[in-house]
Amino acid sequence: MIERLYDVFAMPRPRVVEFCDHCVTPEAVAPFTTVPLRELTSDQVGRFWLKSGTIGDDDFVRYLLPRVMELIAAGELEADFFWLRLVAEAYAKGDPREQAAVREYFLATPVALAGLVREGPKEGPLTTWSRTPETLALLEEAALSEPDSSGVLSDAHAELEAHLCSK
């Protein structure tokens, strides 16, 4: 599933990444042009989050997307509003193959799906897709079968169940 994300969102490593030289140092941006995408650490990728709007453009976000999603699946980045908004925007702009890969990712990564339900955008095509009986069942199964000491899976299940019941 992660390999599919890298395949459908494949872009060459940027040779140059635009950035605000008042907000970001060249050293902070250098890994994005010198380190292979799959080797970028969560700290390096996290610098993009800390300085969003001052590093890169839409193509850069698209380039980073598979690595961001891989780091979320590995538990090295939080499935928070910022990252999920980027995924949702890419989904909305994506072609059917890209959209299918994103859906497969969420179906295979319950913690990311839980983040999408709880912290993702409140509207849009990915949000609409995520609020279905299929995803509710997946979250229920994950909450019952996977370690969930923080309660993220069960909380997302309860939130989605309340949403679906209110319709």
pLDDT tens for residues 67-101? 999 999 998 988 888 888 889 999 999 999 999 99
Query: For all residues of the chain together, what is the average pLDDT?
Result: 87
Task: Report the pLDDT averaged over residues 124-151.
Answer: 88
- Measured at the CA of 157, the angle between CA 121 and CA 3, to 5 degrees, comes to 65
Domain residues of the chain, as ranges?
A: 2-165
Decide if 56 contacts 18 (C-beta within 8 A): yes
Buried b / exposed e along 133-155 (16+ C-beta atoms within 10 A) = eebbebbbebbeeeebeeebbbb
Q: At which residue do the structure tokens 């995924």 appear?
A: 87
Decide if 32 contacts 49 (C-beta within 8 A): no
Per-state percent for the chain, helix, strand, coil, to nearest 5: 70, 0, 30
pLDDT of residue 51: 55
pLDDT of residue 144: 85
pLDDT tens for residues 35-57? 999 999 998 888 766 556 556 67
Spatial separation of the C-alpha atoms in residues 47 and 155, rounded to whole Å: 29
- Tokens, residue 74: 């590995």
Spatial separation of the C-alpha atoms in residues 10 and 120, rounded to whole Å: 24
